[in-house]
Amino acid sequence: MFITRAAFSHVGCPRRSHNLARAPPTPRPRPTMSFTRISSLAAHAAATLGCSLATASASGEWEHEVVYDVQEYDESYSLNLANNADATMKFCFALTDEASAHGVHEVENSCHADDNDDLVAISPFETATQIVSGTTYQLTMDPDSWFSVFNIEFPANGLYAFFSEHGPAEFTFDGGSEFAILKDGETHDVVPAWELTSADTYRTNPSSRRFCRTPRTRPVPASP
């Protein structure tokens, strides 16, 4: 006997009334964020924005920006570079009022990395050149030596923002390590009072405050 699907549905199976209407799901409460967590995220965002703006403020094509605290202007200083990169390098000193990103930003427009017309040439191992704030200079390496020394003099003590076309890491000797570009009259390394690192981290010497460190926040438990 042939049984249709309709007939089979009625054989031995009592008809049931199915209520297809479903109650709407109970809305789940939205997770709330604690004030502490909000404050932490806001601080992180502010720090990131501040570092980004400071990084973006680097003037033109300068690859290296630091601030030096010159305290013995009556002595000759020197820029020391190993001949292991480009044959020339532009640089500029600009007198500023503070060793910080703000201090660099205030004077960056006085130094022009793209200035090729009014460059002041400096040769190695010559009489000290008097530095003029905001003037762009160009060093030319000694092709017959692995190491070049450029003698300079500052007009007065103070904080000087230093901009250079290349960073110290590009002027090291083969197998050697990075060394300080600026030295004082007794050939002691002059440590920057402030510098911008490649990881967007601003740092100062151990006796100074740190700027724009990458924020590290501890996990904050969600509010009950």
Residue 168: the pLDDT is: 81
Residue type, position 121, single letter: A
Strand order from edge to edge, sheet including 129-130: 129-130, 147-153, 77-82, 182-183
CA distances to 53, 109, 159, 224 from 192, in Å: 21, 21, 10, 48
Q: Has residue 175 got a pLDDT over 70?
A: no
The CB density around residue 157, as the number of other CB atoms within 10 Å, is: 12
pLDDT bucket at 202, cuts 50 / 70 / 90: very low
Summarize the confidence of residues 179-200 as an average pLDDT.
83
Residue 28: the pLDDT is: 62
Q: Check residues 145 and 61 and name the one with the higher pLDDT.
A: 145
Summarize the confidence of residues 211-218 as an average pLDDT.
35
Is residue 218 exposed (0-12), middle (13-18) or buried (19+ Cβ within 10 Å)?
A: exposed
* DSSP sequence for 164-208: ESS-GGGS--TT-----SEE-TT--B---SEEE-TTS-EE--TTS
Q: What is the rounded CA–CA span in Å between residue 103 and residue 210?
A: 14
Express each pLDDT in 70-120 by its tens digit.
999 999 999 999 877 789 999 999 999 999 999 999 999 999 988 888 899
Q: Has residue 203 got a pLDDT over 50?
A: no
Beta bridge partners of 101: none
Q: Check residues 37 and 104 and name the one with the higher pLDDT.
A: 104
pLDDT bucket at 170, cuts 50 / 70 / 90: confident
Q: Are 58 and 160 contacting, i.e. CB atoms less than 8 angstroms apart? A: no
Instruction: Report domain extents, the chain.
Output: 47-203
Residue 176: the pLDDT is: 64
Residue 94: the pLDDT is: 98
Count of alpha carbons within 13 Å of 186, Cβ hemisphere only? 2
Residue 171: the pLDDT is: 76
